[in-house]
Amino acid sequence: MVANDVDEGSGSTSGAGKKPRQPRTIDDLYRQSSQFRMWSFTHESLNEIKTKTNEKGRKKATETFNHALAQFRQTNSTEYEAHASELTVDLLLDLLTLEEETKYINFYCKNIIETANFFRMPTQVKATAVSFFRKFYLVHSTMEYHPKNIMYTCVFLAAKSENYFISINSFTKALRNTENKDILDLEFTVLEALHFTLLVHHAFRPLYGFYLDFQAVLLHPEPRIRGLTNERLASLLDKGKEWIMEKALLSDIPFLYTPPQVALAAAYAVDKEVCELYLKIKFEDKLTSIKEEKESEEKQEIKQEEGVKQETEVKQESTENEPTALDSAPLTLLLLLETVQLCLKDALGVPESTVEENKAIDRKCYFALRPKKLIEKRIKKLSNG
Amino acid sequence: MIDDERSRDMCPICKTDRYLSPNMNFLINPECYHNICESCVDRIFSLGPAPCPYPKCGKILRKNKFKKQVFDDLKIEKEVDLRRRISAIYNKTEDDFDDLKEYNLYLEHVETLVFNLINGVDVEATEQEIKKYEQDHKIDILEINMRESQKTSDLEKYQEAMERMKQEKLKIQHQMELEDLEYQKQQKQSLLDRLSSSNIDSDEIIAQNNSRVNKRLSMRKQQLQQITSQLEQQFENTNPLAQHAKALAAEMPKTPFTPFQGDRDLTSYYTLDNQYNEPHLAKLAKDKEYLGAGWRPEAVYERALDQAFMGLGCLVQREKA
């Protein structure tokens, strides 16, 4: 990006007659972030990635199972011969489906929040840990890495990257059955899966920004809605934060929308009236002013066209440019509302899972990672029965 | 080692020893770099060019080429001489080239020539090349020489002026100090006189005196500052380097600084309100420790608001499709 800038810059200084480029907006700034470049997806591509990862995990689990079976066959051939027909992949191995994996990951996301609460970590750390965890399981499957230690590693890493350092010794001391090695060994694996992108833009600060702007737009100089007080906005902020923590983080919307959009969705979910009014005031004015500008520009162009007929080529270029300018033109109110509502819908469509379900999934995952145990268990059962 | 030491202390021609004549000096000639003591040089070469008195050398040397040895190691001495000679001929600077690459190629070439001469690779061919280059570029070399000497003389002038200014300042300071001393003496005397003659309370007189002295002191300080600033200004005006910089600045087009070469859309989506309901931040805004460290509540607001609108218009679903 930087090299590009320099190139374009030197080009523009040499050719003085060149048309100036479209200025970079604040949105372009976000488009340069790793979060947008690497961790933002459409619904379809996100699903595709998840399916692929699930398939990868299944393949890996089958391979390890076959390997374990072959080993078992070598060491205990008599037992194997006796029950050869019972010991096949299809009969024994019960792998996680995509939905099960999703539920399993969500279950662990809640665990992350609990773990982080236990260490009294700030919201930012919690949210980053969840984000790391979800990103990790876009790259790897639960059938490759068991979520428990990955979860702790993510919390540990997030604490470091969010400047809330906790030493590895005090960290593992507080956790049961976890050694330093378990976490430190996985640290690089997790970092690799994250492509070393450690900065996560959360929706919390944008929400706070909107809370400030609500005050500026709706409350000052006088309230735009009857009964709108500072207290109502403050509770909107608090509840909005909770909403982001409980709903947004546990769903896929951080992958599908930008932080400000998620923040607006949170505000919309908590206090629809305030949010809608704000958007209307804020963006309808803007929209009309932009339209006026466009119209005046067009008028000018028409005048020029009458004057000079030879510059048809240049004109064509400018007309070609216009649609793109409209495309990237700031948000229309409708588009924004639509996005916010879609975001809300996506946030609410998270499947809930019961305790029994979770236990069953956990068993499956456990055996998928340790096929030897699975084989031994089945042998025991067969020889007993 | 011992041999070396001895040869350094004894002239091999006249066998004069440093022990007996402690202020003898050795000279060398860049033709053959043999050590010969000063008196021998005077003796042998006064009447014109003569062969080197070292056995088996026999190179014809001239007296005016003799010089003092700077480096202990003759190899280095030789190389420095050589480089001086080459750089007098190949004296182009970076300004003479269109781009860095060409300049680097030129430097590389010069370095190869130097290497060849030092290590005795193709000496004749190299010497010929240098000669040819010198003849071909005679005018260029002269021109660059003139230009460079102008630059260095500018620098020298600057240093000279700086030194002069420093001296001037010191002189003024010294003078003022002397005056102050004189004044203090006077004051003391007058104070004593008044104490002995007048009938006012002595404490009061002393207080009066003190305040007068203090006033004068601060006035003097101001005066000194004024003088030094005047001097500095004068210096700036006469300083050739500053004039050069000024000329450069006048040549450059005057455009205000814009981040990202002015391609950043600076329209803001929000206007800062100065009455946000933030009791916590308001409290911090009165804390001197926070303010002293440069913290301002506006920075918090701006950061949050900037982030609130950063990426609001990025429709991931549409743009990633």
The two tokens of residue B200 are 């006012």
Q: Please, are residues A206 and B308 in contact by the beta-carbon 8 Å criterion?
A: yes
Q: Where are the beta strands (DSSP E) in chain A?
A: none
Does the pLDDT at position B51 exceed 60? yes
Q: How far is CA A275 from the centre of its chain?
A: 23
Find the Cα–Cα–Cα–Cα dihedral B73, B76, B77, B78, rounded to 10°.
Answer: 120
Q: Mean pLDDT over residues B18-42, rounded?
A: 85
- Compare A9 and A170 and report the one with higher pLDDT: A170
- What average pLDDT does this structure show over A228-251? 91
CB-based contacts of A275: which residues, under 8 Å, 6+ apart? A264, A267, A268, A340
The values of phi and psi at residue B51, to 5°, are -70, 155
A202: pLDDT strictly greater than 90? yes
Query: Measured between CB atoms, does A172 come within 8 Å of chain B?
Result: no
pLDDT at A321: 37
Residue-wise over B295-312: b if at least 16 C-beta within 10 A, else e? eebeebbbebbbbbbbbb
Mean pLDDT calculated for residue range A363-380: 85
What DSSP state is assigned to residue A227? T
**Band of the pLDDT at A41, cuts 50, 70, 90?**
very high
Yes or no, beta carbons of B311 and A210 under 8 Å apart = no
Q: What burial class does residue B189 get, using C-beta atoms within 10 Å of its C-beta: 0-12 exposed, 13-18 middle, 19+ buried? A: exposed
pLDDT band at A261 (very low <50, low <70, confident <90, very high): very high
pLDDT value at position A210? 93
Task: Please tell me the predicted confidence (pLDDT) of residue A385.
Answer: 62
Secondary structure class of A41 (helix, strand, coil): coil
pLDDT of residue A294: 53
Which residues touch A24 (CB under 8 Å, ≥6 apart)?
Answer: B260, B263, B264, B265
pLDDT at A217: 87
Contact B314 A36 (CB under 8 A): yes
User: Does the distance separating the beta carbons of A256 and B311 come in below 8 Å?
Assistant: no
Distance CA A327, CA A319 (A): 13
Least confident of A145-154, B157-166, B257-266: B257-266
CA-based nearest residue to A255, from A145, A350, A346, A160: A346
Q: Do A339 and B315 touch (CB under 8 A)?
A: yes
Given a cut of 50, whether residue A312 has pLDDT beyond it is: no
Distances (CA, A) of B213 to A144, B172, B176, B217, B225: 87, 21, 15, 6, 19
| Mean pLDDT (chain B, rounded) | 84
B189-235, pLDDT tens digit by residue?
Answer: 888 888 888 777 778 888 888 888 888 888 888 888 888 888 888 77
Question: Which residues on A lie below 8 Å from B297 (Cβ)?
Answer: none
pLDDT band for position A207 (cuts 50, 70, 90): very high
Q: Is the pLDDT assigned to residue B241 strictly greater than 50?
A: yes
Q: Could you tell me if A229 and A220 are in contact, meaning their C-beta atoms sit under 8 angstroms apart?
A: no
ipTM, 2 dp: 0.77
Give per-residue pLDDT as tens, A44-71.
999 999 999 999 999 998 998 888 888 8
Residue reference for tokens 């933002």: A40
| Contact residues on chain A for B273, CB-CB shorter than 8 A | 212, 215-216, 220
In chain A, helix, strand, coil percent, each to 5?
75, 0, 25
CA distance B81 to A154: 65
CA–CA dist A40, B29 (Å, integer): 76
3-state secondary structure chain B: CHHHHHHHHECCCCCCECCCCCCCCEEECCCCCCCEEHHHHHHHHCCCCEECCCCCCCCEECHHHCEECCCCCHHHHHHHHHHHHHHHHCCCCHHHCCCHHHHHHHHHHHHHHHHHHHHCCCHHHHHHHHHHHHHHCHHHHHHHHHHHHHHHHHHHHHHHHHHHHHHHHHHHHHHHHHHHHHHHHHHHHHHHHHHHHCCCCHHHHHHHHHHHHHHHHHHHHHHHHHHHHHHHHHHHHHCHHHHHHHHHHHHCCCCCCCHHHHCECCCCCCCCCCCCCCHHHHHHCCCHHHHHCCCCHHHHHHHHHHHHHCCCCCCHHHHCC
**Nearest CB partner across the interface for A258, out of B270, B276, B314:** B314
- pTM metric for this prediction: 0.59
A40 touches chain B (CB under 8 A): yes
Backbone angles phi, psi at A318, to 5 degrees: -65, -35
Share of chain A above pLDDT 70, in %: 82
What residues 315-374 of chain A have any CB closer than 8 A to a CB of chain B? 328, 330-331, 335-336, 339, 342
Nearest chain A residue to B262 by CA distance is: A23
| Tens-digit pLDDT profile for residues A107-122 | 999 999 999 999 999 9
Contacts of A243 (CB under 8 A, 6+ apart): A266, A269, A270
CA distance to partner chain A, nearest, from residue B103 (Å) = 21
Tell which B residues from 266 to 295 touch A, by Cβ distance under 8 Å. 266, 269-273, 275-277
The pLDDT of residue A99 is above 70:
yes
Among A77-91, A197-211, B121-135, B251-265, which is the least confidently predicted range?
Answer: B251-265
Is pLDDT of A317 > 50? no
Tell me the average pLDDT across B10-27: 83
Query: If pLDDT is split at 50, 70 and 90, which confidence band does A141 have?
Result: very high
Confidence of residue A286 (pLDDT cuts 50, 70, 90): low
pLDDT > 90 in chain B, percent: 9
- B307 Cα to chain A: minimum distance (Å): 5
Residues 9-38 of A with CB under 8 A from B: 9, 12, 20-21, 23-27, 29-31, 33, 36
What does the pLDDT read at residue A18? Answer: 43
CA torsion sign for B43, B44, B49, B52 is: negative
Count how many pairs of residues, chain A against chain B, have C-beta atoms within 8 Å.
Answer: 124
pLDDT reading at A78 higher than 60: yes
pLDDT (mean) for B28-38: 85
The pLDDT value recorded for residue B123 is 86
- Hey, which residues does A333 pair with through a beta bridge? none
pLDDT band at A379 (very low <50, low <70, confident <90, very high): confident
pLDDT digits (tens, 9 = 90+) for B173-191: 899 899 989 988 998 888 8
**Chain A residues 211-230 within an 8 A CB cutoff of chain B:** 212-213, 215-216, 219-220, 230
pLDDT at A88 over 90: no
